Chains A and B, each alone.
Chain A
Amino acid sequence: MTRTLDIARDLLREARSRRWVLVLFSAETLLLLAATFGLQLDVVDGALAATRLFGGTMGRTIQAADVALRPLFEFVAYAVFYAGTALGVLACADFAPALLAPGRIEHLLSLPVRRAELVLGTFLGVLALVLGGALYGGLGLTLIVWAKTGVFGWAPVLAALLSAAAFASIYAAMMAAATAVRSAALSAAVGALVFVAGIVAGFRRSLAPMFSPGPSRAVFLGLTAPLPRLSELARVAGRAAGGVPPDAVQLAIQLGGAALFTAAALMVAVALLERRDF
């Protein structure tokens, strides 16, 4: 386990020097600064009396601040979930192919590290990076709103955690693709494919009637069955931000399914790496 964590730490060190990652963190910081200085929330005795963004009035309806801020938290939850996942795919597509680059992989394999530990360490390092970014944005905005209104909403944090869970399943598939063919472009394409397919899978029951009964519908249902329901996880995050407590059983099913898919994809990555000669 220590060796796995060492690899993860090594990857995080490498991430600090990557321009892509630095640009994304800088953009996130700029957005947080814009929210800090541009968003004015006029709260009187727990009621939000006025909202102004860069001086322009956004609304004058007076409402309990926590209720009034639900749409904001809901927007942030969806943004953190979908944008965090999409940016994660873009920013991290190159990590696994870089790991397998000629010279580096031979060096790593010469160390007392098993191939499975190499896969798992890289996976955990990338996951930590994406979770950190999502939490930075989500928790950052939560703290800004808390400082301005006194209302603390856990929803962006929950969205960040769910986003990391969703990204884990996507990145596991990306790693499997990268171990099959060492290409950042292919890795990103597989990530995008699983991302979109995961969103579609969340609506598979309502989309299935669009296929004529028979083989085409069965193929659609069969292909989408093991995919993590990313849109459902996003809905959980959004509803939690809207003040609706998550359905614990449904959440457990979705997270459990995503975890099983992640494990399966990682297992494929390990199996592919085991087959390769370096």
Chain B
Amino acid sequence: MRRWHGWLIAAILLGAAALLLSLGDGEPARTTRPEVDFPVWMREPERQRAAQRATLVLPAPPPPAGVPADATPAEPPPRRDPFLVALPVEPDAPLIVMEANALRHSRLGERFVACMQQRDPDLFARLERETGIDPLKDVDRVGMAGEAVVLSGFFDRARWDSILEREPHFDAYGTSGRIYRGTNQRFIGTWGDHIIVVASDAAPIQRAIDQLEGRAPVPETGIPEDMAYGELYGVVPGAAAGKLLGADSRGISDRLAALADRIELHVDAMQDVAAVVRVQGPDQAGLDDLARTMGAALAVARVEAEATGDRATADLLEFATVDPGGQGLSLKVAVPAARLEALLGDCERRRPARPP
């Protein structure tokens, strides 16, 4: 080999390396594992949202026994969120709140609405025409307290004749309340134009209005303002959780029902769906033991899901953690938005054939 040949080959190889490596520089999409942000506390936008919603001035509670009624009150009671105040909490029933308007504008909500409109383009317009309520704009929150459903939003254009399927007739209740009796033993209560309570009995509606107008105390087992974060949140009594989950081979739901006083739930769904479940109870040792059982059950379930090709469950359980300690245990599960979108598929494009 001539002496300069080696240098020439080296230069060619160096040039080829530069050329090849430059191809890799332009690689825009690199596979990364998504990070999920769990709703473990109230964040600043949610704090601001809660402050804006705190518009209700409840009358100050009566002074304690022995204190004269005309004694100067220390501070006026803080303003409350009327929707949370209205929730007619049942002692052994779950209490769940959905931020309907936020969910509708979430990444998945947009896809879901698009899918619904693809199936029936006139669905939401028809609902608005019939009821006077645009479900995509007028409903802000939906709460489920036992058998009662509470809605907040803008209901001044509601067509009660159509909603009740009969001539609207109401009984005034309290200062701003109205109670309508619908068909099928369904009662609907309104408070102003912003709160609706639907129940099979007038009692929860009356209780909701009493709480709003200060005639009944707001139950401490309800949802306080600082717990109203995420797009879905609520509390479930231990006994109700046992019933909701049903029986399982490891006896987790039975032990949960026995150990949990209160189960708090927060779900973020604006991008990824990430849930935090906090279980509180007096027996910390029992909850620690339960945490280990749950962790093992989740790990086994994930392995089984992967073995059987159940990608959705495997993805859900990939982020699952159980955190014992503190005052109870905390369970986190999540599904990245991309995975959920993949599950929804391209339903927007799967328009059903219109009838001729």
Residue numbers of A with Cβ under 8 A of B are 44-47, 49, 60-65, 67, 201, 204-205, 225-229, 232, 239, 242-247, 249-250, 253-254, 256-258, 260-261, 263-265, 267-268, 270-271, 274-275
Could you list some 17 contacts between A and B, CB below 8 A?
A: A45-B296, A47-B296, A49-B292, A60-B325, A61-B321, A62-B291, A62-B321, A62-B322, A63-B321, A64-B299, A67-B318, A226-B21, A228-B17, A232-B24, A261-B13, A267-B10, A267-B13
B167 at the interface (CB under 8 A from A): no
In whole angstroms, how far apart are the Cα atoms of A265 and B294 in the complex?
56
Contact A275 B3 (CB under 8 A): yes
Other-chain residue from B14, B22, B25, B324 in contact with A264 (beta carbon distance below 8 A): B14
Query: Can you list, as one digit per residue, whether each of B281-325 has a CB less than 8 Å from chain A (1) or not (0)?
Result: 000000000011011111110110000000000000111111111
Other-chain residue from A65, A205, A244, A260 in contact with B33 (beta carbon distance below 8 A): A244
Min CB distance B276 to A, Å, is 13
Assuming A225-B22, A253-B20, A260-B17, is B6 touching A270 (CB within 8 A)? yes
In whole angstroms, how far apart are the Cα atoms of A264 and B302 in the complex?
48
Chain A residues closer than 8 Å to B320, beta-carbon distance: 63-64
In whole angstroms, how far apart are the Cα atoms of A65 and B295 in the complex?
10
Chain A residues closer than 8 Å to B16, beta-carbon distance: 260
Contact B292 A260 (CB under 8 A): no
In whole angstroms, how far apart are the Cα atoms of A92 and B56 in the complex?
75
In whole angstroms, how far apart are the Cα atoms of A267 and B299 in the complex?
53
Contact A226 B18 (CB under 8 A): yes
Q: In the complex, which residues 170-194 of chain B have their Cβ closer than 8 Å to any Cβ of chain A?
A: none
Assuming A60-B324, A62-B322, A260-B16, is B299 touching A274 (CB within 8 A)? no
Chain A residues closer than 8 Å to B14, beta-carbon distance: 226, 260-261, 264
Nearest residue in A to B250 (C-beta to C-beta)?
A45
B48 at the interface (CB under 8 A from A): no
Assuming A271-B7, A275-B3, is B32 touching A263 (CB within 8 A)? no
Chain B residues closer than 8 Å to A205, beta-carbon distance: 25-26
In whole angstroms, how far apart are the Cα atoms of A253 and B25 in the complex?
10
Contact A263 B6 (CB under 8 A): no
B67 at the interface (CB under 8 A from A): no
In whole angstroms, how far apart are the Cα atoms of A213 and B295 in the complex?
55
Min CB distance B256 to A, Å, is 15
Q: In the complex, which residues 299-354 of chain B have their Cβ closer than 8 Å to any Cβ of chain A?
A: 299-300, 302-303, 317-325
Contact B7 A257 (CB under 8 A): no
Contact B31 A247 (CB under 8 A): yes
How many A-B pairs have beta carbons closer than 8 Å: the answer is: 135
In whole angstroms, how far apart are the Cα atoms of A205 and B25 in the complex?
7
Chain B residues closer than 8 Å to A247, beta-carbon distance: 27, 30-31
Contact B32 A257 (CB under 8 A): no
Min CB distance A174 to B, Å, is 15
In whole angstroms, how far apart are the Cα atoms of A224 and B23 in the complex?
13
B71 at the interface (CB under 8 A from A): no
In whole angstroms, how far apart are the Cα atoms of A225 and B19 in the complex?
8
B168 at the interface (CB under 8 A from A): no
B15 at the interface (CB under 8 A from A): yes
Min CB distance A128 to B, Å, is 23
Chain B residues closer than 8 Å to A239, beta-carbon distance: 30-33
Query: Can you list, as one digit per residue, whether each of B23-56 has a CB less than 8 Å from chain A (1) or not (0)?
Result: 1111100111100000000000000000000000
Contact B13 A264 (CB under 8 A): yes
Contact B300 A250 (CB under 8 A): no
B9 at the interface (CB under 8 A from A): yes
Contact A257 B299 (CB under 8 A): no
Contact B295 A47 (CB under 8 A): yes
User: What 12 additional pairs, Cβ within 8 angstroms, besides A44-B292, A246-B31, A261-B17?
Assistant: A46-B300, A63-B320, A64-B303, A67-B302, A228-B21, A250-B30, A253-B21, A254-B24, A260-B14, A264-B10, A271-B10, A274-B6
CB-based closest 5 A-B pairs: A62-B295, A271-B6, A45-B296, A257-B21, A260-B17
Assuming A62-B291, A225-B21, A226-B15, is B321 touching A267 (CB within 8 A)? no
Min CB distance A158 to B, Å, is 15
In whole angstroms, how far apart are the Cα atoms of A204 and B296 in the complex?
45
Chain B residues closer than 8 Å to A232, beta-carbon distance: 24
- Of A205, A239, A243, A268, most buried by chain B (CB within 10 Å of CB) is A268
Chain A residues closer than 8 Å to B33, beta-carbon distance: 239, 242-244
Min CB distance A206 to B, Å, is 10
Nearest residue in B to A251 (C-beta to C-beta)?
B24
Contact A47 B298 (CB under 8 A): yes
Contact A257 B17 (CB under 8 A): yes
In whole angstroms, how far apart are the Cα atoms of A261 and B16 in the complex?
8
Contact A62 B17 (CB under 8 A): no
Min CB distance A107 to B, Å, is 24
Nearest residue in B to A249 (C-beta to C-beta)?
B27
In whole angstroms, how far apart are the Cα atoms of A228 and B25 in the complex?
11
Assuming A44-B295, A247-B27, A268-B6, is B323 touching A226 (CB within 8 A)? no
Contact B10 A225 (CB under 8 A): no
Contact A46 B30 (CB under 8 A): no
In whole angstroms, how far apart are the Cα atoms of A197 and B91 in the complex?
67
Contact A250 B323 (CB under 8 A): no
In whole angstroms, how far apart are the Cα atoms of A239 and B294 in the complex?
28
Q: In the complex, which residues 62-96 of chain B have their Cβ closer than 8 Å to any Cβ of chain A?
A: none
Nearest residue in A to B324 (C-beta to C-beta)?
A60
- Of A67, A201, A243, most buried by chain B (CB within 10 Å of CB) is A67
Chain B residues closer than 8 Å to A250, beta-carbon distance: 24, 27, 30
Min CB distance A117 to B, Å, is 13
In whole angstroms, how far apart are the Cα atoms of A262 and B21 in the complex?
13
